[in-house]
Chains A and B, each alone.
Chain A
């Protein structure tokens, strides 16, 4: 039955054509921007937002983010083919550092020519039990330092746009300073209450708590792919009880249900904190998210 081979060939060609046309359709929709002189890639959301504010409007420079804006924290991120392609074209790769980019060894083992620079130079990382907590951006002071670092790094690499970077950065820092004033008000409020203690359902909140002077009674590191045991939940609850914690800080996505459980059992208030690792690619998204975080804490203090 020779006929069968023809039918099969037609089928395969047909499937290949469908795949091809869908792919091209997809590609034209996402047409890559024209080749620029300088391509800067950031590793994930907070670094991207900081860099976006510094580099907005720079001529001949493309700024791209490696992971999608909805990826979240990138401990366990796996590079996709598109990421590898992007990195091949990159001249500068801005990373957070502190080991949070777990995939970095894959990158450095590959034959990439770009410069890898950590934007957290000069920032002190919180350490516990030999583990570095690298979520520094959750402290506004650290984030501001990151912005300054990016400004310096980029001015060094791209001298033509140095003046623009300087201008952008100082504008952004001004808004960050405003945010800091709000934070300081909240901090004074907390102090006047004789301090507040809280249980944290995410490692990154330690920076947030630290900056507000909130005492931490327990940290459970919940993130995207975490499985928890009953024992840990019990530990959280007893820590909340023993430490007289008045709130439990949780991310909207991961841990919200656990926070409700803890709250139901112990009566502490649930405070939703945005870890600033996902959102829209908007220049003011960090400030908005952080302002909301401060407000959420303030509401509970009343």
Chain B
């Protein structure tokens, strides 16, 4: 069965991409879950549509670039405003996300052309090219560096921003860098994972790991294992059953989440 799995070239690319994307998502996911930013990354995914639309209006040839730029601006703006405003962050994020999605949809669906972009909703990991895999490797390296240097700071700021600031940690800068990083990764992966499911891939492995971890080391280890595991198993099943790959990966990740949820409660009890 395995030899059949690898008999075609495109599958090698896909497996490689999954081996890069899933650990990357796991790392980011742990930070997102710790910082309670699940909704934030979801909103970023939706802003990808607007990014493409804005790119089209401005006549940018490579919509990847307009998408990333827009996501970065969007992320920084969100960070800024949610720091200033009195109402709760999730309301602000929701307002921003719905507004940008509506703008994106209205521009893209003009003249009934939305179907051209509908592949973004579900994603298509099978069409990944070698060049795009290289991009992923670069982002992976950057994320790794950020994670190694900033994880403790992020954790400290997560417990108490005021305390972290008083210890001389540049909380705002780190938060902004993190937001930009999430923005880049989410928008770049949209093409392969799809707007509807990208957040699931970010959040589920980390959330499952959190169910059963008592310390930070376990938390990361499990998130990593769950993420890579669901990626590979999902791809395997989708390959042989003719089901879209993204949703299958999310189904496996969800299964892990529910099992760990029960396990975690057992361990406590």
Contact = CB atoms under 8 A, between A and B. Distances in A.
A88 interface: yes
Interface residues of B, number: 41
Interface in B101-133: 109, 112, 114-116, 118-119, 122, 124, 126-127
A121 interface: no
A7 interface: yes
Interface stretch (B31-39, B72-80, B86-94, B252-260): B252-260
Contact of B244 (A8, A80, A225): A80
A225 B118 contact: yes
Contact of A12 (B1, B116, B225, B237): B225
A84 B10 contact: yes
A76 B116 contact: yes
Interface string A203-223: 000000000000000000101
Nearest to A221: B112
Interface in B1-19: 1, 7-11
Given A81-B245, A226-B112, A19 B237 contact: yes
B54 to A, nearest CB: 19
A23 B237 contact: yes
Contacts of B147: none
A11 B257 CA distance: 11
A7 B237 contact: no
Nearest to A3: B267
Interface string A3-33: 0100110011001100110111011000000
Contact of B119 (A19, A23, A78, A228): A78
Interface of B is mostly: helix
B248 to A, nearest CB: 9
A228 B112 contact: yes
A225 to B, nearest CB: 4
Nearest to B119: A78
Contacts of B116: 76
B8 A15 contact: no
Contacts of B8: 84-85, 88
A79 interface: yes
A277 to B, nearest CB: 15
Contacts of B122: 78
A114 B178 CA distance: 47
B222 A8 contact: yes
B187 to A, nearest CB: 20
Contact of B10 (A19, A110, A225, A228): A110
A23 B236 contact: yes
Contacts of A223: 115
B263 interface: yes
A15 B233 contact: yes
A227 interface: yes
A26 B260 CA distance: 27
Contacts of A7: 263
B127 A4 contact: no
B64 to A, nearest CB: 18
Contacts of B151: none
B114 A226 contact: yes
Contact of A82 (B242, B263, B267): B242
Given A11-B256, A26-B241, 14 more contacts: A12-B256, A15-B233, A16-B229, A19-B252, A80-B242, A80-B244, A81-B245, A85-B239, A106-B127, A111-B9, A225-B118, A227-B114, A228-B112, A229-B109
21 contacts: A12-B229, A15-B233, A15-B255, A19-B233, A23-B237, A24-B1, A27-B241, A76-B115, A76-B118, A78-B124, A80-B126, A80-B243, A81-B11, A81-B238, A82-B242, A85-B239, A88-B7, A225-B115, A225-B118, A229-B109, A229-B112
